[in-house]
Amino acid sequence: MKRLVLLGFVIAAVIAASPVKAVEPNEILEDPKLEQRARALSKDLRCVVCQNQSIDDSNASLARDLRVVVRERLQAGDTDKQIIDFVVARYGEFVLLNPRVNARTYLLWGGPALVLIFGILGLVFWFRRRGKIANDGLSPEEEKRLAELLGQTGTEGSDK
């Protein structure tokens, strides 16, 4: 009996933890191909309210409105690119979950690589510099001065 109850709790936890799609039944298109395109487009568009979710996953009213707009434009015969361009024209590049690569986003796309390259170069120079400091011996003048100092210390200690 305990195992059955435990199994029930595990199943309930798995169901509760599974991602719930925010698409409501009245939004779903009758044509399965159009619905599939709508879902694919909705997964690529960011909810501007939630900011870290696609409009497909978000329950915000603005995300619902965007899902409806996507479906209406699909039914009107727009291509995926036309729909994306329409939404970007209204909300800006921020609405794309994967921003386009252009002059304004080069730093966004190349920034992590630049940080990695400069970090590696910094470590290389640091290790080289550290190695040179540790391996440098005494110059002949420094060795002579050291011998004099050690000689003085040795003789002073023996006088007492």
Residue 1 predicted with pLDDT over 70: yes
Q: Is the residue at 126 inside a domain?
A: yes
pLDDT of 160 reads 46
Q: Across residues 17-26, what is the average pLDDT? A: 53
Residue 48, pLDDT above cutoff 70: yes
Are 80 and 48 found together in one domain? Answer: yes
79 shares its domain with 47: yes
**Residue 133 domain flag:** yes
pLDDT in tens, 126-142: 888 876 665 567 788 98
Give the residue-averaged pLDDT of 69-91: 93
Q: Which two tokens stand for residue 77?
A: 């015969």
What percentage of residues in the chain have a pLDDT greater than 90?
A: 30
- Cβ contact 126:119 at 8 Å: no
Domain that holds residue 89: 18-95
Higher pLDDT, 109 or 68: 68
Q: Are 111 and 91 members of one domain?
A: no
Residues 25 and 70 in one domain: yes
12 domain residue, yes or no:
no
pLDDT at 80 (0 to 100): 93
Specify whether 29 is located in the same domain as 85.
yes
Give 133's contacts (C-beta < 8 A, 6+ positions apart). Answer: none
Residues 90 and 116 in one domain: no
How crowded is residue 34: how many other Cβ atoms within 10 Å of its Cβ? 14
91 and 22: one domain?
A: yes
The single-letter code of the amino acid at 38 is: A
Q: Is residue 3 a part of any domain in this protein? A: no
Question: What is the domain-level CATH number for residue 31?
Answer: 1.10.8.640
* 48 in Cβ contact with 59 (< 8 Å): no
| Residue 119: predicted pLDDT | 96
pLDDT at 8: 75
pTM of the model: 0.54
Q: What does 109-141 look like in DSSP terms, one character per residue?
A: HHHHHHHHHHHHHHHHHHHHHHHHHHH----HH
The residue ranking higher by pLDDT, 18 or 31, is 31
Select from 95, 121, 146 the last residue of a domain.
95
Cβ neighbours, 10 Å, residue 27: 15
Instruction: State how many domains the chain has.
Output: 2
